Each structure stands twice: as C-alpha cells, then as structure tokens.
Amino acid sequence: MGKLTGAAGAHIVWDWNGTLFHDNDAIIGATNAAFGELGLAPITMEQYRALYCVPVPKFYERLLGRLPTDAEWELMDETFHRYYTEHRVGCGLTEGAVELLMGWRSAGRSQSILSMYVHDELVPLVRGFGIEAHFLRVDGRTGPSGGSKAEHMERHLAALAGVEAGRTVVIGDAADDAVAAMRVGARAVLYTGGSHSRASLEGVGVPVVDTLAEAVAEAERIAA
C-alpha cells in the first residue's frame, strides 16, 4: 500500500497495536472477555503487562497453568476479536504520533507499519485516521493468529524497495518486535506504553523508552 519509494536513509517499521494505536483499554477488556469463556477471573492492566507474551497461547498457559486446548484457543481467540472490534472505536492514536510521522517523512526518511492485527481490518483503520500517506507499506497479519512477528517481518522488508535492514529500526511495545527485528538484521526500540512492562522489555537488550518521541529520536541515532 502506498506509492512512496524508500529513502536511502533510515527506515522505521512501526508496530500498530499498543504503539501507534493506543488501544490498551480495548485489549484488556477483550482479554478478560476471552478469559471469561473459560471461567478465569479478570486481570488488571498491570497483571496483563507483567504476564503477556508471544505466542499468545503461552500467555494463556501462564494463567491457566496449562496450554489451552485447540477448542479453547479457538473460542478465546474468537471472543477476543469480537470484543476488540466492538471496543476499538473508542481508541485513538497515541499522543504525538501524527506529528512524529509527519516529521520523519518530511525529513526524507521512510516508514511502514507491520502489525499482527488482521490485514483486512488494519488497512481501513489506518486509512480512517488519515495517516496512510506517511507509509511505504501497511501490512497486517494474514493467516492464523497467535504466532510470532518474525516471519512476517521477513516478507515485509523484502517487499520494501530501497530499504536496507541495516538502516531499519523496528518500534514496538513487545519483546517480539525486537525478536522480529533481529531476525532480519534490523535494530529495535521498545516503547513502554503498550502491552509489556518496562521490566519485561529491559530484559531483551535493546533501548527501552517511555514515549514515541524518545523512540523516534533513538531510531534516528542508531540508524544514522
């Protein structure tokens, strides 16, 4: 998606949920709705951020004490996405995101989105915020949910003409974003405003920041 071409300089691959899109309330509500299907007690945002991990069935194992069965996983996954779709309408972009996207683009640098959110729902959502033109490409997940972003990152970067992995920085809110970056030889900066606690992010070994403005400044520094 998009008609821009990659700049010779630094490139940012943005995560969507919990990074550019501030959807924490919808995420925790959807998670608790999914838990309710198995009779699990609801958890707080703090508990979620301390325990959440990818792949998602592993996260459920931390709370169930065992991996969910295939039938349980399908039920929880369907419940999560139904609730999330209903409640995401009350969520907006993270504070300052639009200005940061505009500034990065106006400096002649390129950027894209890679999300594990369903592709056919992600694209109109990004378009609805009026920010589509800032990105070389917007890719959501195709195929089953619950896996790692790493294999999707390989395809995403391969589709970006003129973008070098060595000049690319992935900005996301999950340890899995850093794993995906490492898979392709890119760098990563992790943001504490989404699904992971600072403590869990700091164990990954990449820069951890509290605002998107800090994330962009760090991306500029390490991709220079």
The pTM for the full model equals 0.91
**Alpha-helical regions (H) of 65-174:** 70-87, 97-106, 119-128, 150-158
Q: What is the Cα–Cα distance from 51 to 28, expressed in whole angstroms?
A: 12
pLDDT confidence of residue 1? 40
CB 77 within 8 A of CB 37: no
pLDDT confidence of residue 224? 76
Mean pLDDT of the 75-101 span: 96
- pLDDT digit string (tens) for 23-82? 999 999 999 999 999 999 999 999 999 898 878 888 989 988 999 999 999 999 999 999
* Residue % of the chain over a pLDDT of 70: 96
- In this prediction, residue 171 has a pLDDT band, given cuts at 50, 70 and 90, of very high
pLDDT confidence of residue 3? 36
- In this prediction, residue 106 has a pLDDT band, given cuts at 50, 70 and 90, of very high
Q: What is the Cα–Cα distance from 179 to 170, expressed in whole angstroms?
A: 10
Q: Is the peptide bond before 55 cis (omega within 30 degrees of 0)?
A: yes
Checking if the pLDDT of 5 tops 80, the result is: no
